[in-house]
């Protein structure tokens, strides 16, 4: 079904885009292939990413492990598991958040906590690195083409009353294009959640990418929703990278927050399918958060990237600057049942596309810059 760009993207910014079916209430049925890593009868997915992608050096090697529990788990159950373990963080399923915990330990420690969980743990993944979607210089002379392409001059909404949480490298709140609408909210880059509580020096953007994404969403000059409130959620460091678990914690925060309507913007990712990310996104969507993720920026199949492979969020891909709606051979995802019960996806055309190349936006200093995404 074809919809006009202004309705699609302004609705996305205002929190009105419908999303796909949510599956976080469904218990993962993860069968085990003969070659798959299993600890205490629980599958360890993406095990090849553990220990920095290297073979385990010795039995005492340490790693950060994400343990995803049954969605019916309670906060008390997770806290109980952490009582005898080195938990780094836990979700808040009793409040509508993600049922998970993260520990740092050996595989023996992992086996111990799983064995004591009485079947509560569905799967495990090593925590690994996520990167911002890279960019490069674009054509500044065509900087406003994106707003024209989506019909912004005739839009019916400006995003007033909507809260856009930008999960990225931070936002330069002092930039004049944001008009004082930036609320520093979370900074995960210290390894644990820091609540900014309005501190303008919290979750600052020294890289520029987060300010770019915020300006595209809600800047006064080139933003789609120029009246929306922007929330800084720093899940990527100033080098443009971070741990996947930082985003899980942020999405858990959004799921349990009472701030609505809420939009989560995630212009970040990595190759491969992070199953814990699927659980985190599904949980936020189920809680009423409109999650928008980037897809197709690398000119590759979105099925092979996280979080783009997850079906439940609104997947946004970039169109050609002129008249065609297909520039990259990117894919949306339709769930099917895999041979081991793991969700696979059939490739479909991306359902939603938004301007990406050469869109001008706020940059590190109080200036503007056009980037090629």
Domain limits of the chain?
5-20+130-372, 38-127
Euclidean distance between CA atoms 300 and 331, whole angstroms? 8
Residues 239-282 pLDDT 10s: 999 999 999 999 999 999 999 999 999 999 988 999 999 999 99
pLDDT score of 149: 75
Beta bridge partners of 89: 102
Q: What is the pLDDT of residue 133?
A: 83
CA–CA gap between residue 330 and residue 52 (Å, rounded): 29
Q: What is the mean pLDDT of residues 123-129?
A: 96
| Neighbouring residues of 14: CB distance < 8 A, sequence distance ≥ 6 | 157, 159, 162, 225, 228, 261
> Residue 189 — very low, low, confident or very high, per pLDDT cuts 50/70/90?
very high
Q: Kindly report, residue by residue over 10-46, the tens digit of the pLDDT.
A: 333 333 332 332 333 344 445 455 457 999 999 999 9
How far does CA 7 lie from the centroid of its chain?
23
Quick one: angle between helices 275-286 and 244-256, nearest 10? 20
Query: What pLDDT shows up at residue 365?
Result: 54
**What pLDDT was estimated at residue 250?**
98
The reply to whether 5-20+130-372 and 38-127 are identical in fold is no
Residue with tokens 């340490």: 62
Q: Residue 94's pLDDT is what?
A: 98
Q: What is the mean pLDDT of residues 341-349?
A: 32
pLDDT attached to residue 53: 87
Q: What is the predicted pLDDT for the residue at 16?
A: 30
Of the listed ranges 56-70, 114-128, 321-335, the least confidently predicted one is 321-335
In this prediction, residue 150 carries a pLDDT of: 77
CATH for the stretch 38-127: 3.30.70
Write the DSSP string, 64-89: EEEEEEPTT--HHHHHHHHTTS-EEE
Q: How does residue 313 score in pLDDT terms, banded at 50, 70 and 90?
A: confident
For residue 276, give Cα distances in angstroms to 54, 125, 220, 252, 262. 21, 7, 35, 12, 21
Average pLDDT, the chain: 78
- Asked if the model's pLDDT at residue 186 lies above 70, the reply is yes
CATH of domain 5-20+130-372: 3.40.50.200
Question: Which one of 80-89, 98-107, 172-181 scores highest in mean pLDDT?
Answer: 98-107
Q: What is d(CA 220, CA 215) in angstroms, rounded to the nearest whole number? A: 8
């Amino acid at each position: 079904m074809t919809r006009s760009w202004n309705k699609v993207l302004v609705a996305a910014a205002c929190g009105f885009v419908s999303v796909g079916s949510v599956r976080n209430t469904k218990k993962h049925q993860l069968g085990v292939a003969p070659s798959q890593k299993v600890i205490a009868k629980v599958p360890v997915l993406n095990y090849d990413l553990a220990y920095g992608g290297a073979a385990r050096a010795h039995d005492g090697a340490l790693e950060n492990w994400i343990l995803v529990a049954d969605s019916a788990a309670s906060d008390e159950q997770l806290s109980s598991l952490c009582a005898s373990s080195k938990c780094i963080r836990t979700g808040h399923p009793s409040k509508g958040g993600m049922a998970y915990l993260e520990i740092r330990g050996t595989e023996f420690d992992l086996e111990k906590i799983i064995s004591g969980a009485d079947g509560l743990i569905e799967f495990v993944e090593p925590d690994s690195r996520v990167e911002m979607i890279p960019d490069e210089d674009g054509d500044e002379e065509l900087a406003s083409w994106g707003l024209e392409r989506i019909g912004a001059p005739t839009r019916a909404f400006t995003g007033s009353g909507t809260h856009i949480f930008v999960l990225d490298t931070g936002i330069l709140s002092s930039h004049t294009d944001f008009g004082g609408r930036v609320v520093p909210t979370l900074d995960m880059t210290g390894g644990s959640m820091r609540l900014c509580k309005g501190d303008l020096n919290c979750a600052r953007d020294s890289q520029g990418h987060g300010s770019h994404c915020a300006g595209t969403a809600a800047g006064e000059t080139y933003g789609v929703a120029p009246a929306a409130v922007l929330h800084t959620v720093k899940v990527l460091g100033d080098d443009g990278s971070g741990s996947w678990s930082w985003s899980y914690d942020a999405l858990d925060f959004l799921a349990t927050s009472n701030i609505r309507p809420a939009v989560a913007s995630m212009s970040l990712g990595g190759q491969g399918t992070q199953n814990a990310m699927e659980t985190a996104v599904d949980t936020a969507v189920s809680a009423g958060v409109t999650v928008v993720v980037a897809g197709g920026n690398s000119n590759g199949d979105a099925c092979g990237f996280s979080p783009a492979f997850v079906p439940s969020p609104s997947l946004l891909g970039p169109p050609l600057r002129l008249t065609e709606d297909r520039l990259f051979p990117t894919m949306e995802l339709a769930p099917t049942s895999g041979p081991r019960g793991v969700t696979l996806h059939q490739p479909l055309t991306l359902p939603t596309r938004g301007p990406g190349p050469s869109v001008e936006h706020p940059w590190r200093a109080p200036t503007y810059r056009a980037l090629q995404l």
